[in-house]
């Protein structure tokens, strides 16, 4: 069930801006740390004390049996959501992952007695709307066949198809290929897992303005997000460097792209949104106004205050807001998610004061440049609200504790640790960053919607984007999904968190995701020497 936001009249927009200005800014903190190595013999089935699931479920129990899974594993769907294409396609994707190494062999196959031959998924609701706060909870039971059952079963039960997707991901991580028997096995069975996310908003920002990413690369990133149960792609589409998106209402805007080959058509954007939905991931689009707007004026120079002063966008012209309204109207047809990001940070208003016609407008309206900035942001929000969107903006340090104390809501990010372009931040810093930091009141804590890690692309492009994101984004993903009780800080787990993360990094690489070694001082750097994937 989607979260409902109150409608606001223009007089309330200032408070609304505070409500939705959500990100916490902290200065970078750089610590010198020793590169750590782990004996690879401590991994997977060799160490029964470690649970190799990422993110950890909220509640689970396990046993000491090893079960064999039939390569002909069948799917049975039940409940009101039993006809879901989303679940059926997800099952086929995961079956391909799970049984990648299982197939016919010219050397023959062993006659194995399989314990698990059927996967039952019960989905109680047929409502497949994907909005903020959709129910992603699920239960997962893995049990061996017994005297009353012809075949063993795996049962996933969820209220929505999106909870079922999370359960399928967890099930896939329980399955491991045994090279000795050439079979898929589930260790530590039977399993009973009862799971739900800690936060409703668990995001990754991708900046496609500083460098262009083809849609196949974006799809790969979305696919990898589903492996850690992230559920929002924050698509920072446009910035001062380039305007790659097609806007039918103002077709000259994408003249601001780097080249005619580095663009996204309306159809491309639809494809990305639909691809993400099939994996339970919303797409929150962003256009950053009034700053970061230089690329807009390539196609429409009147948006610039002058040819020597190209940003912020011209606050004095109605044309600026007409274009903004046209962009939002076209984008509303593409992006169904209820949140839309309007940027709003890093605005140097000196340009307005130094441009004669803007300076005259300020004088006529008795405004300072600070007043004009506020006017622009509030008017942009008003336009977004008129399109049935909830606007989001950037703000600086200490935002979350301040706004939730006033009864408002926030989304957390942390420039010191959750900006993935900061390559000198190790996994522990990412893992230990806490969205509820400084918020002790239980009611105020519920107003933190979640958080996101950010991949700004000044030094990332398709050649290294996955190595920059993973595995550090997985550390934040567990912080956002798993309760603090189930996943305490990294220095309190006796090295188990690192062991689990190193294993998960290797799971990503087995799935074709170019995830960097975990413990290198600089993220996305190559291994420092030969060795096992599980000890890097």
Number of Cβ atoms within 10 Å of the Cβ of 65: 15
3-state helix vs strand vs coil in the chain, percent to 5: 35, 20, 50
- Quick check: bond before 471 cis, omega within 30? yes
Beta-bridge partner residues of 306: 309
- Given a contact cutoff of 8 angstroms between Cβ atoms, the answer to whether 502 and 536 are in contact is yes
Of the candidates 346, 428, 444, 485, the residue annotated as catalytic is 346
Closest among 319, 332, 185, 209 to 270, alpha carbons compared: 332
- With the CA atoms of 346, 351, 353 and 358 taken in that order, what torsion angle do they form, in degrees rounded to the nearest 10? -110
Cα(530)–Cα(512) distance, rounded to whole angstroms?
Answer: 20
Cα(499)–Cα(427) distance, rounded to whole angstroms?
Answer: 12
Cα(474)–Cα(299) distance, rounded to whole angstroms?
Answer: 39
Give the pair of three-digit tokens for residue 91: 């099952």
Distances (CA, A) of 138 to 59, 122, 229, 276, 429: 11, 10, 13, 20, 30
Q: What angle do CA 61, 179, 38 make, to 5 degrees?
A: 65
SS3 287: strand
Give the pair of three-digit tokens for residue 261: 């080959």
Cα(273)–Cα(233) distance, rounded to whole angstroms?
Answer: 9
How many residues can be counted in the chain?
536
Q: Is residue 492 exposed (0-12), middle (13-18) or buried (19+ Cβ within 10 Å)?
A: exposed
- With the CA atoms of 79, 85, 91 and 93 taken in that order, what torsion angle do they form, in degrees rounded to the nearest 10? -170
Active site residue 294: no
Cα(455)–Cα(423) distance, rounded to whole angstroms?
Answer: 11
Cα(363)–Cα(311) distance, rounded to whole angstroms?
Answer: 20
**Number of helices and strands in the chain (H, E):** 16, 15
Sign (positive or negative) of CA dihedral 363, 367, 373, 379: negative
Cα(476)–Cα(465) distance, rounded to whole angstroms?
Answer: 17
Number of Cβ atoms within 10 Å of the Cβ of 362: 21
Closest among 390, 495, 385, 475 to 204, alpha carbons compared: 475
Helices (H), 70-191: 85-98, 161-174
Give the residue numbers annotated as catalytic, written as ranges. Answer: 346
């Amino acid at each position: 069930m989607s979260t409902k936001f109150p409608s606001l009249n223009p007089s309330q927009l200032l408070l609304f801006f505070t409500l939705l200005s959500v990100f916490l800014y902290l200065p970078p903190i750089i610590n010198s740390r020793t590169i750590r190595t782990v004996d690879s013999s401590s991994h997977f089935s060799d160490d029964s004390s470690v649970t190799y699931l990422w993110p950890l479920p909220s509640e689970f129990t396990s046993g000491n049996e090893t079960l064999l899974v039939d390569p002909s594993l069948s799917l049975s769907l039940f409940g009101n959501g039993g006809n879901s294409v989303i679940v059926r396609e997800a099952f086929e994707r995961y079956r391909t992952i799970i049984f990648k190494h299982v197939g016919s062999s010219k050397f023959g196959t062993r006659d194995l007695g399989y314990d698990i031959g059927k996967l039952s998924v019960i989905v109680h609701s047929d409502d497949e709307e994907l909005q903020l706060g959709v129910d992603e909870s699920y239960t997962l039971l893995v049990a061996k066949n017994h005297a009353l059952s012809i075949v063993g079963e795996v049962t996933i039960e969820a209220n929505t198809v999106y909870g079922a997707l999370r359960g399928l991901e967890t099930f896939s991580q329980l399955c491991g290929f045994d090279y000795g028997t050439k079979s898929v096995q589930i260790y530590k069975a039977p399993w009973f897992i009862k799971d739900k996310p800690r936060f409703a908003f668990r995001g990754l920002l991708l900046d496609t303005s500083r460098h262009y990413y083809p849609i196949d690369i974006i799809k790969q990133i979305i696919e990898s997000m589903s492996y850690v149960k992230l559920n929002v792609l924050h698509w920072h589409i446009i910035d001062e460097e380039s305007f790659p998106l097609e806007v039918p209402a103002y077709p000259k805007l994408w003249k601001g792209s780097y080249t005619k080959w580095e663009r996204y058509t309306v159809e491309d954007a639809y494809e990305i949104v639909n691809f993400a939905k099939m994996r339970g991931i919303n797409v929150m689009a962003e256009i950053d106004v009034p700053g970061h707007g230089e690329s807009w004026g390539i196609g429409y120079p009147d948006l610039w205050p002058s040819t020597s002063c190209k940003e912020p966008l011209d606050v004095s012209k109605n044309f600026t807001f007409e274009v903004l309204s046209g962009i939002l109207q076209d984008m509303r047809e593409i992006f169904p998610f209820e949140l839309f990001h309007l940027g709003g940070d890093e605005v140097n208003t000196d340009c307005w004061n130094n441009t004669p016609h803007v300076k005259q407008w300020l004088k006529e309206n008795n405004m300072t440049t600070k007043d004009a900035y506020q006017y622009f942001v509030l008017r942009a929000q008003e336009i977004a609200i008129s399109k049935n969107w909830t606007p989001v903006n950037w703000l600086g340090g200490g935002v979350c504790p301040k706004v939730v104390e006033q009864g408002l809501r926030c989304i957390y990010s942390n420039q010191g640790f959750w900006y993935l372009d900061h390559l000198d931040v190790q996994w522990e810093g990412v893992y230990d960053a806490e969205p509820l930091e400084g918020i002790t009141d239980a009611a105020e804590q519920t107003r933190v919607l979640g958080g996101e890690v950010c991949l700004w692309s000044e030094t990332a492009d398709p050649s290294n984007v996955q190595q920059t994101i993973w595995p550090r984004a997985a550390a934040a993903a567990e912080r956002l999904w798993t309760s603090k009780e189930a996943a305490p800080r990294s220095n309190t787990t006796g090295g188990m968190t690192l062991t689990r993360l190193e294993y998960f990094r290797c799971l990503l690489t087995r799935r074709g995701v170019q995830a960097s070694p975990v413990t290198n001082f600089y993220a996305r750097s190559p291994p420092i020497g030969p060795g096992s994937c599980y000890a890097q």
